[in-house]
Amino acid sequence: MHRLGLFAFALTLVVVVLGAYTRLTDAGLGCPDWPGCYGFHGIPNSEQAQRLAAERFPDNPLEPVKARNEMVHRYAAGTLGVTILLMALWSLKAAHRAYRFPAWLLLALVAGQATLGMLTVTLNLLPLVVMGHLLGGFTILALLFLLLCRGRPPLLESPRISGLGRCYRVALGALVLQIALGGWTAANYAAMACLELPVCQGDWPAQWQWSAFHPHGVSAETYQYGVLSQEERVTIHAAHRLWAVVTVLLLLWLAGRLWRHPPMRGWGLALALGVMVQLALGMANVVLHLPLAVAVAHNAGAAVLLLMLTGTGERLWRYREERWQEARYCPEPGN
């Protein structure tokens, strides 16, 4: 069961990165149908298959590279779904009872992700669906990592760790909101709306449009390459930048608090380094005009930061449970 979970976690990380690569290469509609591709189970490579694809979808000409990127992502996601199904079935054994609820929860999330993947295509990259699909992938990744962490033996055997809970929750909330803003930025093709640092298109406050954050109805024929105005894209990009500053400060604050506690010092150092690398990647995306490798690494960096906070939270919760058990079964004299 642990090996299945480890494989599923590694595969989920691959799927998340492949999803970012697919989106950044504009291959989200590389196949205009779902779950096949131009009516085929695989990629239409032969001349006959490409001719049939042109007949079936005359308004969506086949681009083999984009179709390949999209189908590779689907194949990986499908393999992940089968792996988590095996985990859920395996958890029915008495020996794996502790895995039963998380495994079936993961299976439900994967089913939801498959539905969002279908809607991403059928609704032509509706931004709200695209962002939800991104957050769903990150959620599955974090839960699998949490499941792996919970399977490890206790590691925190040191003096009391206190006062970190609120700091941790605030930092986690800020990071989740920043990931959502990043997804909204990508879904609305606003990553290149601002090409300057540290400002954004001069007098960007005068261009602020709250309508940029309103969920779009299914009104456009397609949302590929975005439908918002330049002012709205500037607003989304600026919001992502501004909240990035808040998130960086909160994560560094948490890293500093963790550093003061020896059992959490390694997590604090790793978190601080991860934050600085992610900040550098975000700045490089603007300065270098969104190179593919840097943009994919920026998406992966967000996933790594979420995993760091997931692992940190699990260890804090584990230590809290141990202290509670000690207080319950070994009360202090006089209590």
Token pair for 201: 């298109």
Specify which residues 37 forms β-bridges with: 40
Output the DSSP codes for 29-80. Answer: TSSSSSSSBTTBSS---SHHHHHHHHHH-TTS---HHHHHHHHHHHHHHHHH
Q: Work out the number of other CB atoms within 10 angstroms of the CB of residue 96.
A: 16
Q: In the annotation, is 70 catalytic?
A: yes
For residue 38, the one-letter residue type is Y
Smallest CA-to-CA distance from 29 within 80, 77, 73 is with: 73
Token pair for 125: 């990259």
| CA distances, 287 to each of 110, 189, 192, 198, 295 (Å) | 36, 17, 10, 10, 12
> Which of the following is catalytic: 70, 157, 321, 332?
70
For residue 203, report the phi and psi dihedrals to the nearest 5 degrees. Answer: -85, 65
Helix axes 292-329, 265-287, angle to 10 degrees: 160
Residue 39 DSSP label? T
Contact in structure between 260 and 167 (CB atoms under 8 Å): no
Output the DSSP codes for 240-263. Answer: HHHHHHHHHHHHHHHHHHHHTSGG
For 194-210, letters b (16+ CB in 10 Å) and e give beeeeebbeebeebebe
Q: Work out the number of other CB atoms within 10 angstroms of the CB of residue 22.
A: 20
3-state secondary structure 68-83: HHHHHHHHHHHHHHHH
Residues forming the active site: 70
